[in-house]
Amino acid sequence: MRALYFAFVRERIGKAEEEISPPENIKTVADLMGWLRGQGENYAAAFANIKTMRAALDRTHVKHDALIGNAREIAFFPPMTGG
């Protein structure tokens, strides 16, 4: 699946998007964040504060317990500050 990173998440990971292939046992958004955190120091820094992290599955806001299912795109970003 495609992973997109925005704002400080993008900066800390060092890329705006990438193709990811999490293992079978990764079911929820929370699972995926935990898995990504283990992918290197940059990911660990990006996901240091998982509690405030926001996620969108196929461009829809979701909570951390949401199932990833067949989503093609997941995005991670800090709380929005538009307007």
Partner 1 sequence: MSARIIVRVQKESFDASTEAAALTQGRRDIGALVTFTGLCRDEGGALAALGIEHYPGMAEEEITRVAREAASRWPLEGIVAIHRYGLIQPGEPIVLVVTASTHRAEAFAAATFLMDYLKTEAPFWKKQHLSGSGPENWVESKAEDNAAVQKWRV
User: Where on the chain is the footprint of partner 1 (CB under 8 A)?
Assistant: 4, 6-8, 10, 56, 59, 61, 75, 77-83
Q: What is the smallest separation between the CB atom of 80 and partner 1, expressed in angstroms?
A: 6
Q: Which is nearer to partner 1, 23 or 69 (CB)?
A: 69
Torsion region of 70: left, alpha or beta (phi above 0 gives left; psi -120 to 50 gives alpha): alpha
Residue nearer to partner 1 on the CB measure, 60 or 65: 60
Alpha carbons 74 and 62: distance in angstroms, whole number: 10
Q: Residue 51 has which token pair?
A: 């509690």
What sign has the CA pseudo-torsion 49, 56, 78, 44?
A: positive
Q: How far is the CB of 75 from partner 1 (least distance, A)?
A: 6
Q: How many CB atoms lie within 10 A of CB 33?
A: 19
In the complex, the smallest distance separating the C-beta of residue 7 from partner 1, rounded to whole angstroms, is: 4
- 38 versus 51: smaller Cβ distance to partner 1: 51
